Amino acid sequence: MILAELATGEKAVIVRVNGHGSFRKRLIEMGFIQGKEVRVVLNAPLKDPIEYEIIGYKVSLRREEAKMIEVVSMEEAREALSTDEHLQGLPETLEEKERLDRALAHVAEERHHNIRVALVGNPNCGKTSLFNIASGAHEHVGNYSGVTVDAKEGHFTYKGYDITLVDLPGTYSLSAYSPEELYVRKNLLETLPDVVLNVVDASNIERNLYLTSQLIDMNLRTVMALNMYDELQHKGDKLDIKQLGYLLGMPVCPTVSRDGQGIPELFDTIIKVYEHTDPKLARHIHINHGAELEKSIVRLRDLIFANENIRSRYSTRYLAIKTLEADKDVEALIAQLPNAAEIQAACQEENTRIEALLGTSAESAIVDAKYAFIQGALAETYERYQAEKPRRTLTDKIDAFVTNQWLAFPIFILLLWFIFWATFTVGQYPMDWIDALVSWLGDKVGGWMADGWVKDLVVDGIIAGVGSVLVFLPNIMILYFFISIMEDSGYMARAAFIVDKLMHRIGLHGKSFIPMVMGFGCNVPAIMATRSIESRKSRLVTIAIIPFMSCAGRLPIFVLFAGAFFPGSPATALLGIYLLGVVLAILSALVLSKFVKDDDLPFVMELPPYRVPTGKAIWRHTWEKGRQYLEKMATTILLFSIAIWFLGYFPRHEGASAAYQQEHSYIGMVGKAVEPAMEPLGFNWKMDVGLLAGVGAKELVISTMGVTYAQDGAAYADDSDDTALQAALKATIPTAAALAFMVFVLLYFPCIATFTAIKNETGKWRWAILLCLYTIVVAWLFAFAAYRLGLLFWPVG
């Protein structure tokens, strides 16, 4: 509850004071301290301000300011008396007033021990690794920009405090330059975390401190985690941590998030800053931007400060700086103020004055001043190791090889081929074991149960349907294992680097390549990862072509068909189908880029040093994807398999063969209705039904075929290495049609989750609908071409 909601005469206990630094400090100095009792004396005739009694004296606050104070009311205390186990043990002899007072104090103390910490830092600073090791959460950690595509929350208890960690997207600044930067800034300003944890890469400290300088302007309680500190020490550099913290006005804690070094001390410091137990630990500073800029900042700050309804929520100095920088988001906020015209006129005058005096725009001058402040702070505290000869790092040596003009692309193609070869070869063994286990389970359960529709449902619907998807779990995990290594090692950023020229020729950035490769895992996070692309044109076109990237949901289909129809070279077939998706994505980008407004920005992307991925991180990422796959099987795929079985089992045609029953069931009717449109591609009605099911999730194509081909699988099973489902497919589908089917699955309508992600990221249903129609048309045309071409090599009959 907030203080402004209390009625006249009501009392409460203060939990915390929110808002930026100077505002919070003023209220605390007035006596609004955690644990103190406050009572509403009266409201002014116009309901503003409100008079309160606290620590024996009366003080008035405006309603806007009272909204920033969190309290526990008597009503909440009464509710706690009946629900909180700690309070139910109070002695019965206590009077009602004493019981309520104790309840108030207890609930206030309990809520005060909830701390919300926002993690802010540059990409590749180890922020998400720190988040994972501190909270135990299983978020994906990648060694390139844009891994954390949305705010993730982790919860844990430390020394009696319930801490909520919010992992915000990696960003280089807090401008409104990209969606991620704007998202981080809004999160900090609107949710007002209790403490901001600024994660800084110790091996690249100067660049990282620019973001820190912007946090200083925002006047939020901040603690710095100087992460990867072991790398700084390994280079022989020296840093006076205590002095750096003093100059920045915040405590600095060295950490190594890879192995947890320094994490306990970091959270000890966060608690101290939150409780303000050591006033010397943190102090608010103003970055001096130079005499002329400071005159402009102070003038605008004073004009903004005149608006009482805004100074409780924002640092007016921060708003003044952003107004001078012509920040569009802040300009929209300023435009709503009563004296907006005066502020805008003053801003125009100050920008003209600054440009005349300094020969540059106010925005550039502010950036230069911040870097001058950073360089000054590091000159006092940081000493680089001076080697006799410049050392050629391991990263330099690897880059000379993997980004070589002649070797870069062959290495990348060979790497992809090896991943697919391992997916088939290594994955075949556990795949066979799981397939044998599913067959054994089906036989056993079938032997235990009496004949009838329940037995058919369990054996042919549930076990055959879900089991047909379960067998591909090892392949999924192997694919994610290799993708994780590429991401966490830093190679993925090099892949974007080597293809930048190609991407630029099709109207995209090298940065677009990272979401495209992420699409091999799942299209949904890949589409969300496009937020790291600053250019609106590149972002929209990248979103449009990501559905052509073959996701992990399609992988079981390709493994099934490539293993059955191309047993001599399944890895090559799989690589070919993936490359087809890439080629069509490139062609589509060429077409679509002509219809999107061009606002291309320079290609700027960090190439982080290579790092050896930890086994724990790789396993956690791989298993997390495997767990999600299992969860999907236990929910979506299970329910859909049951539904498909029912549609294929009814209406009953007693005495008819299994084939006749299915063809004349509800599912057969649906398949037959679609068949005329798909017949030119060589598809039968069972294949058509599988494709319809794949609209929900691509894994459903396999589970649907597992159900519809359940009887055929038993009939065509032989002593080969094929699974029962593969045997049924080989016996009933021509090779040319199988090739066309793989092409169609690769290109047609993305799943519902991807469709929704496209709408959310573009903000328009029109984009999502048009893209889905486009993919269906492209899929039909290329599948038709694949079928006709396939007939030349594998004629029917």
The stretch 205-214 carries a mean pLDDT of 93
pLDDT of res. 143: 47
Write out the two tokens for 597.
Answer: 């407004």
For residue 489, give the nearest of 417, 392, 402 by alpha carbon.
402
User: Do the beta carbons of residue 30 and residue 59 sit within 8 Å?
Assistant: yes
The pLDDT value recorded for residue 597 is 63
Res 301 pLDDT > 70: yes
- Cite the DSSP H helix spans in 276-339: 291-305, 316-324, 328-334
Cα–Cα distance measured from residue 230 to residue 239, given in angstroms and rounded to the nearest whole number = 12
DSSP letters, 201-222, are EGGGHHHHHHHHHHHHHHT--E
What strands, in cross-sheet order, belong to the sheet with 114-121?
152-158, 161-167, 114-121, 195-201, 222-227, 252-254
User: Percent of the chain beyond pLDDT 90?
Assistant: 35
- What confidence category does residue 147 fall into, taking pLDDT thresholds of 50, 70 and 90? low
User: What is the distance between the alpha carbons of residues 740 and 751, in angstroms, rounded to a whole number?
Assistant: 19
Tens-place pLDDT, residues 86-95: 776 666 666 7
Alpha-carbon Rg for the chain in angstroms? 31
The pLDDT confidence band at residue 144, using thresholds 50, 70 and 90, is very low
pLDDT for 389 equals 62
Distance (Å) of CA 670 to CA 47, 534, 665, 684, 713 = 66, 45, 9, 12, 22
What average pLDDT does the chain have?
A: 86
Most confident of the following: 96-100, 153-157, 192-196, 736-740: 736-740
pLDDT digits over 384-402, tens only? 887 656 667 788 888 888 8
- Diameter over CA atoms, the chain: 98
| pLDDT the model gives residue 603 | 52
Average the pLDDT over 754-766 and give the result. Answer: 86
Q: What is the pLDDT of residue 604?
A: 59
pLDDT at 169 over 80: yes
SS3 285: coil
Residues 6+ apart with CB under 8 A from 23: 65, 68, 311, 312
**Distance in angstroms (rounded) separating the CA atoms of residues 369 and 211:** 13
In terms of pLDDT, which residue wins out, 171 or 601? 171
Q: Tell me what pLDDT residue 321 has.
A: 95
Q: Which residue has the higher pLDDT, 745 or 638?
A: 745
pLDDT digits (tens, 9 = 90+) for 442-494: 999 989 998 888 998 998 889 988 888 888 889 889 988 988 888 888 888 88
Contact 767, 592 (CB under 8 A): no
Would you call 91 helix, strand, or coil by DSSP? Answer: coil
| Cα–Cα distances in angstroms (integers) from residue 551 to residues 48, 147, 217, 532, 556, in the given order | 57, 17, 43, 20, 10
Task: Give the lowest-confidence range in 12-16, 235-239, 473-477, 606-610.
Answer: 606-610
Beta bridge partners of 12: 38, 73
Q: Which carries the bigger pLDDT value, residue 598 or residue 335? A: 335
Q: What average pLDDT does the segment 699-707 reach?
A: 87
Question: What's the rounded Cα separation, in Å, for the pair 293 and 589?
Answer: 44
165 - beta bridge partners? 117, 154
**pLDDT band of 135, cuts 50, 70, 90:** confident
Residue 511 pLDDT greater than 80, yes or no? no
Grouping H, G, I as helix, E, B as strand and the rest as coil, residue 39 is strand
Identify any residues that bridge with 17 across adjacent strands, giving them in sequence order.
69
For residue 138, what pLDDT is reported? Answer: 55
Output the CA–CA distances (angstroms, integers) from residue 20 to 189, 222, 661, 776, in the order listed.
9, 11, 70, 52
H-helix segments, 471-614? 473-489, 491-498, 500-505, 513-518, 523-528, 536-545, 555-565, 570-592
Side chain identity, residue 238: K
